Structure 1
Amino acid sequence: MALRGTPKEIFSDNGTNFRATEKAVREELKKIEYDKITIKFDGIKWQFNPPGAPHMGGAWERLVRTTKGVLKNICTSYSFNDEGLRNALMEAQFIINSRPLTFQRWVKEYALVLTRRTKWFEKAPPITIGIIVVVVDELLPRNLWLKGRVTDAMMASDGQVRRVTIKTQHGAIERPATKVAVLDVVLENGN
């Protein structure tokens, strides 16, 4: 709450620990004099999933799993002191919030789907000038992969683009089409 402000709603499963916390917070608020603190916390509405329906929290449970995965990669022993945990959580927050919003895991699944060769199954539409892409670079962390706009596409005799020039924040670069992931985004001007 110190970073993002007071939430209007809190969603959680129907666990006894969450029910007890909600009850304890409400009881403690009654003991505090009616001032800014009470007003700040009293407006929060706590929403519980129905009993026996843990699947209804799938979205946030998936984010918890993603956070745990990032934390495990940062420190496999999970041996954190207070300051280390705070820093690790901020790093996890940065990594998670830097990924494109998608249901697939970015590096292990999504990037592979974008760059896989589909010529054996179906013809992929050629990369065209003006589309937004991510430059796949296995040597960099996923949140540091360059994004840019295709400014030139060199087509082979079979009609497939084999090489592209991309305008990035660091200037123009040339890459093979196999190392470019087309982002499924629509810009305001319709491109």
Structure 2
Amino acid sequence: MKRLFDVIVSLAAALVLLLPILVIALLVRLTSPGPALYWSDRVGRYNRIFRMPKFRSMRIDAPTVATHLMTDPSVYLTPIGSFLRKTSLDELPQLWSILKGDMSIVGPRPALYNQDDLIALRTQHGVDALVPGLTGWAQINGRDELPIPEKVKLDVEYLQRRSFWFDLQIIARTAWNVVRREGVSH
């Protein structure tokens, strides 16, 4: 049922958001050199690496590390990068990953391939068995501000509590957080 829900919702969202997606892609291309999409190597279910698209919010010379590990990530933002991140519009291309089956709408956020500490802790606690999500329990409870052990604790809680109803609650809280721009990295 979860996979069917993911496909129906992400397909509907992609159709409704097609024009904004095209406009954002054009704006990214017009405001900075490089492609509109950034393909990031991420860790999926059972630690399988997959390529996840995002609208490019950083310059093409930005280091490939988690934003919270950068000394001053604002130095690398494109002219519209901050806006894309604050509004979470940079995440829209991940609808492709959901349709493809690499991601779900709700699940732990996919780790970067080089976040060894996060990957190891998730594996130790069985969280690696989950399909990563566009949003998740840890995402709405602190996002990038959370230290890795706390993030994994919330991922484990999601693993234990997961249900269709819980997913719907997480989706609703995600929408609320996006509207309020709460917990969004700049």
**TM-score normalised per structure 2:** 0.24
Q: Which has the higher contact order (CA 8 A, sep 6+)?
A: 2
Of Structure 1 and Structure 2, which has the larger fraction of its residues in helix? Answer: 2
**TM-score normalised per structure 1:** 0.24
Of Structure 1 and Structure 2, which has the larger fraction of its residues in strand? Answer: 1
Q: Which has the larger radius of gyration?
A: 1
